[in-house]
Amino acid sequence: MEHVFKHEQLPSGKTIIRHFGDDGSLVEETHGHGVLDIAIKYDFRSGVKNSESYFFRSRLVSRRTYERARGKYKDMPAADGAIEDWGATLLRGIAREARQRSAEEKQHRPDSNQAREMDAFCSSLMNEGRTENAVEWIKKKTHTLGERDWSGSKRLVARLLGVGCVHIYACKIDVYEPSDENTGHLVVKLPKTGAARSRILKMIDRLAREVGYSGPFDDGQRYAYVKLD
C-alpha cells in the first residue's frame, strides 16, 4: 500500500491534511488556514501522537505564540500542554546562534581573498547551466525554489529584493515536463556600501541555517550565494 494523503476542506476555510503510511496508519495530521497563516501539525508513531509543531505567518513558532494567535481562529485545536514544545527549544537554540553570529560579525575583519573566492564561485555558478533573472522568472506559477511551493518561492524573492539586493539570479535551473522548473541555487548582487549589505547577509545567514550551514560574512564581495536545498 502506498502513502496516502487525504484533504478535508471545512466551510470556515480550514484545511485538514492527513498522511497515512504504508500500513494504513496515521503518520501526520495538519490543521491550518491559508499557506501556514496558522497551523498545527501532529506526528504519530504506531498510531499514537508523539509530537506537535506550531506555525504562524508561515514560520515555526512556540506553543505560547500559537495559543495567542489561535484566538482569532475559532476552529483551530488547542495545543497539548502535556507534549514537549520542541519548537520552542529549537527557536531558543536559533536565538543563541543568532547572538553568537552577531558577536562574531562585530569582530570580523574583511578578507579580500575570501571576497575573491566568493565572487569567482558565484560567477562560475551563473555560467553553469541555465541562469535567469529571478524576479521575472518566479512570476510563472510552475517555477519554484528548493522545496518551497510557488507562493513561498515568490515571497522569498520579494523579501530578498525588499532588503536591498541589486540583482537576484536563479542559477542551474532544472526543467521538468511539461513546464515545471526548479532550482535550489540563487546568486544575489550586493550593494557596494550601506546598511543593506548587512541586512542581506543576515537574511542569507538565516536561510543558510535552515539547510544546515552558515552564511558568509561581509568581506567586500560583489555577490553572495543562497543555497536553498
For CA atoms 169, 167, 143, 215, the dihedral sign is: positive
Residues near 57 by beta carbon (within 8 Å), at least 6 away in sequence = 36, 37, 38
Average pLDDT along the chain: 91
Question: Distance between CA atoms of 22 and 4, rounded to whole angstroms?
Answer: 8
Model confidence at 188: pLDDT above 80: yes
Model confidence at 35: pLDDT above 70: yes
Q: Is the pTM of this model over 0.95?
A: no
The C-alpha torsion from 98 through 99 and 100 to 104, rounded to 10°, is 100
Nearest to 151 by CA among 134, 163, 138, 160: 138
Question: Distance between CA atoms of 59 and 73, rounded to whole angstroms?
Answer: 17
Q: Compute the average pLDDT of residues 4-10.
A: 92
What tens digit of pLDDT does each residue of 40-81 get? 999 999 889 999 999 998 888 999 999 999 999 999 999 999
Question: Distance between CA atoms of 221 and 229, rounded to whole angstroms?
Answer: 23
Q: Compute the average pLDDT of residues 191-206.
A: 91
Q: Where are the domains of the chain?
A: 4-91, 111-227
CB 30 within 8 A of CB 41: yes
* Local confidence band at 193 (pLDDT 50, 70, 90 cut-offs): confident
* Local confidence band at 112 (pLDDT 50, 70, 90 cut-offs): very high
Task: Provide the grid cell at 72.
Answer: 482569532
pLDDT score at 105: 75
Query: Between these two residues, 63 and 36, which has the higher pLDDT value?
Result: 63
Model confidence at 108: pLDDT above 90: no
CB 120 within 8 A of CB 127: no
What tens digit of pLDDT does each residue of 133-184 get? 999 999 999 999 998 999 999 999 999 999 999 999 999 999 987 889 999 9
Task: Provide the grid cell at 207.
Answer: 536561510
* Local confidence band at 2 (pLDDT 50, 70, 90 cut-offs): low
Task: Provide the grid cell at 198.
Answer: 548587512
pLDDT score at 136: 97
